[in-house]
């Protein structure tokens, strides 16, 4: 006949004695519960969280500094070397008639033929190359990280856990891309100033430093906002095709190699290119860097850049939020 052993009252699972709760323990338990209940809820400030996310972006940018620098340098360096050094050396150039300084005609000739009008092709090329770098770096610095985070890496889910609204995360993406675009455009400046044949130095005169900084910031933000929009609405598998469709036409028809006023003889094209944001970036930089060349009114440039930033940013943040919560 099997017998069972019943531990004595007050014994634990293995027969060890367990002290019964005393009457004095109740106030202690109540005080601990009150401390837990009344503990302040952790509320990290929005600036601190935003700064932490930007610090991560800077660490990634510093780790990829060499590749970012090479990507920013190679294209403008090759353009400047060929158009401002090689062509003048071999006696070739792009001859376009008209009065460039007054804005009534076309761009001046490059190389040796530019000396007749007094405007070197480097002078025309500097604002345009800076604008092209804005577009390339701004879109690349915003769209490509989004493609990786939304596709196979899925790191966007970790970012979405940050104690900030998802819209703030989208604005942080725009800020990071705008900084890369700003740095890329600044790198172009010394390249064009230093790489040229004898007598082909660009004529640069900053008419208004505040206006110059404003156009630089507006150009950075409009391209980064466009990059956020494209990165959230396009299929990641087709993003390379999007770059080929967007970047090449935008560069060739973005008044990079000629001022907008030079298209007056092709009126339909002069009007059509106004849908290209790069036109306003190129013309705005010409207005503050090379004022001797015909350019758009500054008010039209600022209206397009600031208005484009607001439209692309609001649209991009909305599609970004929908993509994250989907």
Highest average pLDDT, of 51-55, 166-170, 173-177, 291-295, comes from 173-177
Q: Give the number of other CB atoms < 10 A from CB of residue 53.
A: 18
Q: What pLDDT was estimated at residue 105?
A: 36
This prediction's pTM: 0.75
Q: Specify which of 12-16, 254-258, 269-273 reaches the highest per-range mean pLDDT.
A: 269-273
Instruction: With a cut of 50, say whether residue 81 has pLDDT above it.
Output: yes
Please name the residue ranges forming H helices in 151-165.
Answer: 156-160
Average pLDDT over residues 101-118: 40
pLDDT of 112 above 80: no
Which of 121-125, 237-241, 265-269 has the lowest average pLDDT?
237-241
- Burial bucket for residue 21 (CB in 10 Å: 0-12, 13-18, 19+): exposed
Per residue in 191-244, pLDDT (tens digit) is 888 888 777 788 888 888 999 999 999 999 999 999 999 888 877 777 777 777
Question: Which of 218, 219, 232, 63 is closest to 142 using CA atoms?
Answer: 232
Rounded CA separation 97/118 (Å): 13
Q: Distance between CA 247 and CA 255 in Å, rounded?
A: 13
CA–CA distance, 171 with 64 (Å, rounded to integer): 22
Positive/negative CA dihedral, 250, 316, 127, 106: positive
Helix axes 277-289, 239-252, angle to 10 degrees: 40
pLDDT band of residue 324 (cuts 50, 70, 90) is: confident
């Amino acid at each position: 006949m099997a017998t069972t052993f019943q531990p004595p009252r007050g014994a634990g699972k293995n027969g060890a004695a367990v002290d019964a709760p005393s009457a004095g323990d109740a106030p202690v338990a109540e005080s601990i519960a009150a401390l837990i209940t009344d503990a302040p809820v952790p509320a990290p400030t929005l600036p601190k969280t935003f700064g932490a996310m930007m610090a991560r972006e800077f660490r990634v940018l510093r780790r990829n500094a060499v590749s970012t620098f090479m990507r920013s340098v190679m294209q403008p360096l090759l353009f400047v070397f060929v158009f401002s050094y090689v062509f003048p050396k071999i006696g070739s150039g792009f001859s376009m008639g008209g009065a460039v300084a007054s804005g009534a005609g076309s761009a001046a000739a490059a190389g040796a033929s530019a000396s007749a009008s007094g405007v070197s092709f480097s002078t025309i090329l500097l604002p345009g190359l800076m604008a092209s770098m804005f577009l390339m770096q701004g879109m690349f610095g915003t769209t490509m990280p989004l493609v990786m985070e939304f596709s196979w890496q899925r790191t966007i889910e970790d970012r979405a856990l940050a104690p900030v609204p998802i819209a703030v995360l989208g604005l942080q993406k725009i800020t990071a891309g705008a900084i890369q675009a700003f740095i890329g455009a600044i790198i172009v400046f010394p390249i064009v100033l230093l790489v040229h044949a004898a007598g082909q130095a660009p004529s640069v005169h900053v008419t208004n430093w505040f206006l110059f900084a404003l156009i630089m910031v507006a150009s950075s933000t409009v391209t980064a906002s466009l990059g956020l929009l494209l990165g959230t609405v396009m299929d990641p598998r087709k993003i390379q095709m999007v770059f080929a469709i967007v970047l090449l036409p935008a560069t060739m028809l973005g008044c990079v190699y000629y001022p907008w006023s030079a298209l007056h003889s092709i009126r339909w094209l002069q009007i059509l290119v106004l849908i290209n944001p790069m036109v306003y970036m190129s013309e705005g930089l010409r207005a503050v860097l090379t004022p001797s060349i015909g350019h758009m009114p500054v008010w039209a440039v600022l209206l397009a850049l600031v208005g484009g930033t607001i439209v692309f940013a609001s649209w991009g943040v909305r599609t970004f939020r929908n993509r994250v919560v989907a």
